[in-house]
Amino acid sequence: MERCWQTQNYIIAALKDARQRTLALVSDLDEEQLRVPLLPIINSIVWEIGHVGWFQEKWVLRHTRGQPALISNADALWDSAAVAHDTRWNLPLLSIADTRAYLASVLECVVEGLDSRPLSEDEAYFCWLSIMHEDMHGEALTYTRQTLGYAAPPLNAGPRPTMETAPEGDGEFAGGTYLLGARRHRRFVFDNEKWEHPVEVKPFAIARSPVTHGQFAEFVDDGGYRRRELWSDEGWNWRRSVPALHPLYWSRNGQGWAVRLFDCTLPLGPEVTLIHVNWHEAEAYCHWTGRRLPTEAEWELAASGFEKREFPWGNEVPSPAHAQLDAHSLGCASAGAFAAGDTPEGLRQMIGDAWEWTAGDFEPYPGFIRDPYKEYSEPWFGPPYKVLRGGCWATRSRLTRNTWRNFYAKDRRDVFAGFRTCRSL
């Protein structure tokens, strides 16, 4: 059963909540911090928050309701499909105050329209699209703060869950014909999830928990970054391009390791779920262990079962007991936390804490038809983009489901991504 995404009360609350989160993520930053240096992996923060408002205006007010643009040159400023990344620092952007005022005006117009008349199916869809889009940019703003070494965002987050030992071993699956992808006629899924289709999955076993800091530190200390035989040609070329032979944000702390979280450097917690490693690093670690990354179909079957649960634990919507989502605490928890989110086979944290790299390239499913937001998936199909599953600690819980496919280039280490290992039976 789908969540009540089409109801006016839910949509209005979610629109306001997404906007509140966007503004909270930048509320403590000064003018200089908002206009960040030009880097290929992040956006200017002042541009990004303007883009969030523009996207909502374009799809809800202009596309669905046929209203004129609130700002005459809005497309020239914030249309990400038309405005090249490196030019966004040189645009005549609004001031920070005027950008916030623009976001407030857009949201006010959207909510007023929802309050004043019955909600059509199309309007519900495009409102929800703008919510999902804003939530994803909220996650991007969070890892932008990490990239730049800013202070932790002021989100009133709670303490991390108590450290717990991660479950050991594998969950085993006999394989068979699995229906990969979203069930047909689901309204609020992305085009790259459509639709479920049969794939043959051979017997496999997948780790009950994601790789931890401590496990990856063993790989590093065993010379994993120096051992050519563990890396593909492409991965080795990438490894030779980086200055430090360890994960991003790690540093030596005496005989051990420390890791930077926002603007604080902390002793590395060996039981904590690993993030900030790219696909090449994950692949090399798997070679070191004699294992491999799971395919998309293996990951989704492990999370959903043949019965196609919406979440690893069942069909109940995510709560703080199930998974580390919504930035309820900042950073990853221990890989043993959130036992309430286990699958029947005892697989833990398949949703939340860390996005998980899979083996597969980001490709369309059979019969792919792009959605109205055509720039979301189609331009990115194929190498170098790989699929990630599950969501991370900063992902909003209302976005998550077992079929959701995220995607990044293989060399991205700034995102909140880790992995778990797999083997054939």
pLDDT digit string (tens) for the chain, length 425 residues: 355 666 888 999 999 999 999 999 999 999 889 989 999 999 999 999 999 999 999 999 999 999 999 999 999 999 999 999 999 999 999 999 999 999 999 999 999 988 777 788 899 999 999 999 999 999 999 999 999 999 999 998 887 777 788 999 999 999 999 999 999 977 789 999 999 999 999 999 999 999 999 999 999 999 999 999 999 999 999 999 999 999 999 999 988 999 999 999 999 999 999 999 999 999 999 999 999 999 999 999 999 999 999 999 999 999 999 999 999 999 999 999 999 999 999 999 999 999 999 999 999 999 999 999 999 999 999 999 999 999 999 999 999 999 999 999 999 999 999 999 999 99
CATH number of the domain where residue 116 is located = 1.20.120.450
Task: Give the whole-angstrom CA distance, residue 228 versus residue 64.
Answer: 54
| Residues 137 and 183 placed together within one structural domain of the fold | no
Residue 112 lies in a domain: yes
CATH number of the domain where residue 315 is located = 3.90.1580.10
DSSP state of 61: I
| Residues 178 and 143 placed together within one structural domain of the fold | no
Question: Considering only CA atoms, which of 130, 146, 133, 129 is closest in space to residue 41?
Answer: 146
| Residues 197 and 303 placed together within one structural domain of the fold | yes
Task: Give the whole-angstrom CA distance, residue 176 versus residue 181.
Answer: 15
Task: Give the whole-angstrom CA distance, residue 335 versus residue 271.
Answer: 6
Q: Count CA within 13 A, CB hemisphere, residue 41.
A: 15
* Overall domain count for the chain: 2
Task: Give the whole-angstrom CA distance, residue 314 versus residue 305.
Answer: 10
Cβ neighbourhood burial of 293 (10 Å; 0-12, 13-18, 19+): buried
Residue 249 lies in a domain: no
| Residues 308 and 385 placed together within one structural domain of the fold | yes
Q: Which residues contact 140 (CB under 8 A, 6 or more apart)?
A: 42, 43, 48
| Residues 176 and 140 placed together within one structural domain of the fold | no
Judging by DSSP bridges, how do beta strands 406-409 and 385-389 pair with one another? antiparallel
Task: Give the whole-angstrom CA distance, residue 297 versus residue 348.
Answer: 18
Residue 162 lies in a domain: no
pTM (two decimals): 0.96
| Residues 279 and 394 placed together within one structural domain of the fold | yes
Q: Where are the beta strands (DSSP E) in 155-296?
A: 170-173, 176-180, 197-201, 204-207, 250-253, 256-261, 264-267
Its domain, for residue 16, covers: 8-148
Residue 26 lies in a domain: yes
Residue 73 lies in a domain: yes
Could you tell me the two tokens for 305? 């079962």
